[in-house]
Structure 1
Amino acid sequence: MTWNPFSKDKDKETAQKSVDSTLQESEAQESKGHPTPKRKVAEQRNLHPLVPKNRKADRKAAKERIRKKEDEQYDAMRTGDVAHMPRLERDPAHIYVRDYVDARFNLAEYFIPAFFVIMILTMVVGFISQALYGIMMVLMYVYLIASVIDVVIMWHKLKKKLIEKFGEKSVAKGTRMASYAWGRALQLRRWRIPKPTSKKRGNWPK
C-alpha cells in the first residue's frame, strides 16, 4: 500500500463537506417547519379522486337538493312570494304580462271547461236529434274561433305596452313572451301559477 501524505487532509475535507451538507438540510427543514416529505408521500397528498367514492349517494343528495329547491319555488309561486320564485318569474317584463292578463276578462280561459261541457252535451243530444248535434258542434267551433281572436287582440295591445315600457328586447325572437301570455290566458284565473297579485280583475299594471 502506497502512503499518501495528503490522504488525511482529503478525508478531513470530505467529512467536512458531509457535515456541511447535513447542516444545510437541517436548516432547510427547520425553516419550513417540517421535514421535506418523500416523493411518494408528496404524490399521494396531491392525488384527488376524479370519481366520488359513493356516486349513488351523491346523486341521491343532488336530487334531494333540486327537489327541495323546486318545492320552495312552487310554494313561492303559490303564495305570491316573488323574491323566491324562479328567475324567469321574477323578471319585471314577465310580472307585467301576468298582471295584464290577470286584469282582463279572457274568453280563452273558459274554453277547456266549455269544450268538455259541449262534448258531453253533443254525445247526449246526438241520440235525440242530428240537428241539435250539428248546432252544438257549430257552437263549439264558434267559441274556439272567438277565443283565438280574443287572445290575438290581447297580445296585440300587450305587445305595444311591453315595447313602450321594456323596449324591443322584451318581445324579441326567442323570449317566448307571446306564448307566456297565451298560456296564462288559457288558464282559469283562480288556478293560475304564479298566483295573481290582485283578487279581482281590472287592476291594470302601470
Structure 2
Amino acid sequence: MFGSRSSKEEKAAATDKVSADLSKPRDPQAPKGRPTPKRAVAQSQRKAAVVSTGDRKEDARRARERRRVELAKQREALASGDERYLPARDKGPVRRFVRDFVDSRFSVAEMFLPLAVIILVLSMVRQAQIQNVALLLWLAVIALIILDSIGLAFRLRKALNERFADQPRRGAVAYGLMRTLQMRRLRLPKPQVKRGERP
C-alpha cells in the first residue's frame, strides 16, 4: 500500500528468480550459489507447491498420503541404493564413493556393539580378575577403534582428493567414519559392494 511501485516490482522479480533457482535440482554438497529467500517468499512457494482443495481435512489427508508415498520410496531407495529417492545427506557421487569405500573394507568399529555387550557381561561377573580383563578389553577395543578410524580417515581423504578434486567434499570423511560404527548388515543405504571389491 505504502511501498513504491519499483520496490514491488523488485520483489516480484526476486521471487521469480528464486522460484526459477529452486526448480533446478542441485548437488546437495555443492554451495548454494544464491541468497536464502525471505520467509514470505519461501512460505508463498510452499503454499503454491501444494494446491489446496479448500477442505482442511482433505488437504491433511492428501498431505499424509503424499508423505507416506515419499517415505515408502525413501525406504526402497535405502535398500536398493536408488539415488533419486535417497535422503539429501546420502545423495551424490561423493557420498556413494564414501559408502563403497567403507563397505569394501573391514573396520574394527563395526564390531563395537557385539564387543561392548560381551565386555558388559564380563564386567558383571563378581570376580576381580574377570573384571580386570573386561576393563583391559574395553581399553583395547577403544584404542583399536581410534587407530583404525585415523587410518581410514587418512586413506579416505587421499582417495577423495584424487577422485573428486574439483567437487565439494565437506563432511564426507565424517560421513564415512559414522558409517563404520554400524554393523555392515544394518547399514543404510545397504552396501552395494562386497568386501575386498574396489569402489
TM-score range, shorter chain: 0.5 to 0.7
Query: Are 1:186 and 2:181 an aligned pair?
Result: yes
Q: Which of 148, 151, 173 is equivalent to 1:150? A: 148
Query: Are 1:202 and 2:159 an aligned pair?
Result: no
Please name the residue that 1:134 is paired with.
132
Which amino acid in the other structure matches residue 107 of structure 2? N
Q: Is the 8 Å Cα contact of residues 162 and 170 (structure 1) preserved in structure 2?
A: no
| Counterparts of 2:189 and 2:62, CA distance in 1 | 28
User: 1:83: Cα distance to partner?
Assistant: 4.1
| Counterparts of 1:149 and 1:195, CA distance in 2 | 25
Please name the residue that 1:99 is paired with.
100
Q: Secondary structure at the match of 2:117?
A: helix
Identity %: 33
Query: Are 1:85 and 2:83 an aligned pair?
Result: no
Q: Is the 8 Å Cα contact of residues 107 and 180 (structure 2) preserved in structure 1?
A: yes
Please name the residue that 2:32 is paired with.
none
Q: Specify every segment of 5 or more residues in structure 2 that has no aligned partner in the other structure, as ranges.
A: 1-51
Q: Is the 8 Å Cα contact of residues 163 and 170 (structure 1) preserved in structure 2?
A: no
User: 1:58: Cα distance to partner?
Assistant: 1.3
User: 1:84: Cα distance to partner?
Assistant: 3.7
Which amino acid in the other structure matches residue 154 of structure 1? L
Q: Give 1:10-159 correspondences, 5 Å limit.
A: 53-124=54-125, 127=126, 129-159=127-157
Q: Secondary structure at the match of 2:54?
A: coil
Q: Secondary structure at the match of 2:168?
A: helix
Which of the two has higher C-alpha Rg? 1
User: 1:106: Cα distance to partner?
Assistant: 0.3
Query: RMSD across aligned C-alpha pairs, in angstroms?
Result: 2.0
Q: Secondary structure at the match of 1:99?
A: helix
Which amino acid in the other structure matches residue 188 of structure 2? I
| Counterparts of 1:168 and 1:133, CA distance in 2 | 52
Q: Is the 8 Å Cα contact of residues 83 and 92 (structure 2) preserved in structure 1?
A: no
| Counterparts of 1:95 and 1:115, CA distance in 2 | 29
- Name the TM-score, length of structure 1 as normaliser: 0.65
Cα deviation 1:83-128 (Å, max 9, x = unaligned): 443344330000100000001110000011110111012102xx1x
